[in-house]
Amino acid sequence: MIKIAPSILSANFAALGEAVSKLAAQGADWVHFDVMDGNFVPNITFGPNTCKAIRPLTDLPIDVHLMVEHPSDWIEPFKNAGADILTIHVESAERHLHRALQAIHAAGMKAGVVLNPATPVSTCVHLLSECDLVLLMSVNPGFGGQSFIPETLNKIRALKAEIEARGLHTLIEIDGGVNPDTAKQCVNAGADVLVAGSAVFKADDPAEMIRTLRGS
């Protein structure tokens, strides 16, 4: 079953609580929470305080995508803010990714790495046993509303083959430019979780869009 994780980056920030409260009834599986530090990416969004504020508004897992230079600094704060899943970029300044993934698990959360479009799948191969999920960026991180980069499909196939060959259960999550058309291509290539920002929040009927993206 494909999971859909709406990115609240594309929600109306002036009515964020309302948007989050509706997601479960609209059929979402996870809440995707894009943290940007204005350093790793050229944009700033929100942090643990906002996560803590939305935590009581939904029972869905909060999937925190850390687009920050020093992700290890944010493991405890996000744990305390009620996050369920933490993903960290292999391109960040974190030198000890394996240890950081272990620290996320030790804090009681699910852990994963994120790869930018230019980063080869090989960079996560030796981390897979510590990853509940791998997030493949299908746009360059920093902004919602960009176009899907088709080369991502080859990365999904390569990663899926590696996961299956090793008998692992690591989920493949895709983030950026997901719409009904690219969603289908990602699922056919082997994706398990689809992040969708503008597709869901700009839709006239978000529930219908979530069903369409999932293919059910």
Catalytic residues: 34, 175
**Part in contact with ligand DX5 (CB under 6 A); list of ranges 6-14, 15-23, 86-94, 157-165:** 6-14
CB 36 within 8 A of CB 142: yes
**Please, what is the minimum distance in Å from the beta carbon of residue 164 to ligand DX5?**
26
For the record, the structure tokens of 146 come out as 């960009």
For the record, the structure tokens of 162 come out as 């590696």
Which member of 92, 197, 206, 209 binds ligand DX5 (CB under 6 A)?
197
Among Zn ion, ligand DX5, none, what does residue 91 contact (CB within 5–8 Å per kind)? Answer: none
**Contact residues for 18 (Cβ-Cβ < 8 A; gap 6+):** none
- Work out whether 26 is an interface residue with ligand DX5 (CB under 6 A): no
Among ligand DX5, Zn ion, none, what does residue 146 contact (CB within 5–8 Å per kind)? Answer: ligand DX5
> Quick one: how far is CA 164 from the chain centroid?
21
Binding letters toward ligand DX5, positions 122-161, x by CB under 6 A: -----------------x-xx-xxx---------------
**Please, what is the minimum distance in Å from the beta carbon of residue 201 to ligand DX5?**
8
Q: How far apart are CA 119 and CA 8, in angstroms?
A: 25
Output the CA torsion 67→71→39→51 (10° steps). Answer: 60
**Part in contact with ligand DX5 (CB under 6 A); list of ranges 68-76, 83-91, 175-183, 205-213:** 175-183
Strands 3-6 and 171-175: unpaired
